[in-house]
């Protein structure tokens, strides 16, 4: 395998709006061909950070290198490499889908001879099925998001910055969007996608960065985050008859590998070190506590996120 190549290098980036520090000394790297999920509640600084990556706003301190090019010193070169899908969708009134894509193709300076083919490609990639002559303003939210993404892909950028692409979509459209993101990833694109809704990103992200109040709270692969999230990564649910719940909890809490043990009738929910599951069962059995059901599960991203942000999720 080739050594990983850094596609995006965020170096100690800070952005202020008067007194407010929207992005506070963030450093982060994204390897080429991987997808980074940028998660955080509203106001965390996700859009402010993405706009700096997209050269639309300039860091007060620090820099961002996109394939080695500085967003501050070489913004024009950087823009060619990336596609930015903004969260807010403004569009010229009265255009049809085809006119809209032609308009943006011209803005991105896609050569006229290629544009027809590119428009066809991006419509297929985004599964935009509405007809060419349909007015943009009449589109459903789902198709509008597809069109916005299609426009972002017109110049075939290697790096995609998608700001809350799932916002306003129903569950089915969210699911389809995840499929589209996976397709783009399989084409080798480097993708940064933001959301305040965790399940949107869990499936598509190779690594995750969690922001809160401008700061990067944590960053890593899902596996790494599960292991460094304060409480260890495996949760065991043990169901016992209700009259045994408290006794079971007392026994389990006494075990050295148990990080936490809560009674959530009719179960005790134990977080413990990975390899201790069988031992926990043995303890209960040796004290003659009947076990009705037993399940081990990895913590999902939501658990990790809740721990990282101390539950301050909007």
Alpha carbons 240 and 183: distance in angstroms, whole number: 45
Q: Which is nearer to ligand ADP, 17 or 106 (CB)?
A: 17
Whether residue 177 contacts residue 195, with contact meaning beta carbons closer than 8 Å, is answered with no
210 is an interface residue for ligand ADP by CB under 6 A? no
195 is an interface residue for Mg ion by CB under 5 A? no
126 is an interface residue for ligand ADP by CB under 6 A? no
Residue 73: both structure tokens together: 């010193």
174's contact among ligand ADP, Mg ion, none, with CB below 5 to 8 A by partner kind, is none
Alpha carbons 249 and 262: distance in angstroms, whole number: 7
Distances (CA, A) of 113 to 35, 97, 104, 147, 167: 31, 19, 15, 21, 34
What stretches of 42-111 show up as alpha helix (H) in DSSP? 46-53, 75-81, 97-107
Q: Which is nearer to Mg ion, 47 or 126 (CB)?
A: 47
17's contact among Mg ion, ligand ADP, none, with CB below 5 to 8 A by partner kind, is ligand ADP
Whether residue 263 contacts residue 219, with contact meaning beta carbons closer than 8 Å, is answered with no
CB of 76 to ligand ADP, least distance (A): 23
48 is an interface residue for ligand ADP by CB under 6 A? yes
44's contact among Mg ion, ligand ADP, none, with CB below 5 to 8 A by partner kind, is ligand ADP
Q: Site residues for Mg ion, window 34-53 (CB under 5 A)?
A: 46-47
Q: Which is nearer to ligand ADP, 77 or 213 (CB)?
A: 213
Q: What is the DSSP string of 5-59?
A: -EEEEEEEEEEEETTEEEEEEEEEEEETT-EEEEE--TTSSHHHHHHHHTTSS--
Segment interacting with ligand ADP, rule: CB under 6 A, options 37-45, 93-101, 166-174, 304-312: 37-45
Give the other-Cβ count within 10 Å of 254's Cβ. 10
With b for 16 or more beta-carbon neighbours within 10 A and e for fewer, the 149-162 pattern comes to bbbbbbbebbbbbb
CB of 88 to ligand ADP, least distance (A): 10
Kindly report whether the peptide bond that precedes residue 266 is cis, defined as omega within 30 degrees of 0: yes
Q: Which is nearer to Mg ion, 49 or 234 (CB)?
A: 49
20 is an interface residue for ligand ADP by CB under 6 A? yes
Per-residue binding string, ligand ADP, 163-192, x by CB under 6 A, is ------------------------------
Q: Which is nearer to ligand ADP, 41 or 75 (CB)?
A: 41
Q: Which is nearer to ligand ADP, 43 or 199 (CB)?
A: 43
CB of 196 to ligand ADP, least distance (A): 7
What stretches of 126-270 show up as alpha helix (H) in DSSP? 141-153, 171-186, 198-202, 222-228, 245-253
Q: Which is nearer to ligand ADP, 128 or 211 (CB)?
A: 211
Residues whose CB is less than 8 angstroms from the CB of residue 104 and which lie 6 or more positions away in sequence, other chains included:
151, 154
Whether residue 38 contacts residue 192, with contact meaning beta carbons closer than 8 Å, is answered with yes
CB of 15 to ligand ADP, least distance (A): 8
47 is an interface residue for ligand ADP by CB under 6 A? yes
57 is an interface residue for Mg ion by CB under 5 A? no
Instruction: Report the alpha-carbon angle 60-79-184, nearest 5.
Output: 115
Size of the site for ligand ADP (CB under 6 A): 11
Please, which residues bridge with residue 219 across strands? 209
Question: What is the contact surface with Mg ion in residues (CB under 5 A)?
Answer: 46-47
Question: What is the contact surface with ligand ADP in residues (CB under 6 A)?
Answer: 17, 20, 22, 40, 42-48
């Amino acid at each position: 395998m080739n050594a990983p190549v850094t596609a995006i290098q965020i170096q100690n980036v800070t952005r202020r709006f008067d007194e407010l520090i929207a992005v506070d000394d963030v450093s982060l790297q994204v390897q080429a061909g991987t997808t980074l999920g940028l998660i955080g509640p509203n106001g965390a600084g996700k859009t402010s950070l993405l706009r700096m990556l997209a050269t639309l706003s300039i860091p007060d301190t620090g820099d961002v290198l996109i394939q080695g090019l500085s967003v501050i010193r070489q913004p024009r070169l950087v823009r060619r490499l990336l596609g930015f899908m903004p969260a807010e969708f403004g569009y010229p009134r009265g255009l049809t889908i085809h006119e809209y894509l032609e308009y943006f193709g011209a803005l991105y300076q896609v050569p006229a001879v290629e544009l027809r083919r590119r428009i066809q490609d991006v419509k297929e990639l985004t599964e935009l099925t509405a007809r060419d002559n349909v007015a943009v303003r009449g589109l459903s939210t789902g198709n509008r998001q597809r069109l916005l993404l299609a426009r972002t892909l017109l110049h075939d950028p290697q790096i995609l910055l998608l700001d809350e692409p799932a916002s306003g979509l129903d569950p089915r459209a969210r699911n389809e969007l995840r499929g589209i993101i996976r397709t783009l990833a399989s084409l080798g694109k480097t993708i940064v996608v933001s959301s305040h809704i965790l399940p949107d990103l869990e499936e598509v992200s190779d690594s995750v960065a969690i922001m809160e109040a401008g700061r990067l709270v944590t960053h890593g692969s899902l596996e790494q985050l599960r292991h460094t999230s304060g409480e260890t990564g495996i949760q065991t649910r043990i169901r016992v008859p209700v009259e045994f719940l408290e006794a079971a909890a007392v026994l389990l809490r006494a075990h050295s590998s148990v990080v936490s043990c809560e009674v959530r009738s009719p179960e005790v929910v134990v977080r413990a070190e990975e390899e201790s599951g069988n031992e926990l069962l043995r303890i209960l059995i040796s004290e003659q506590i009947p076990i009705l059901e037993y399940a081990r599960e990895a913590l999902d991203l939501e658990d990790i996120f809740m721990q990282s942000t101390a539950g301050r999720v909007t």
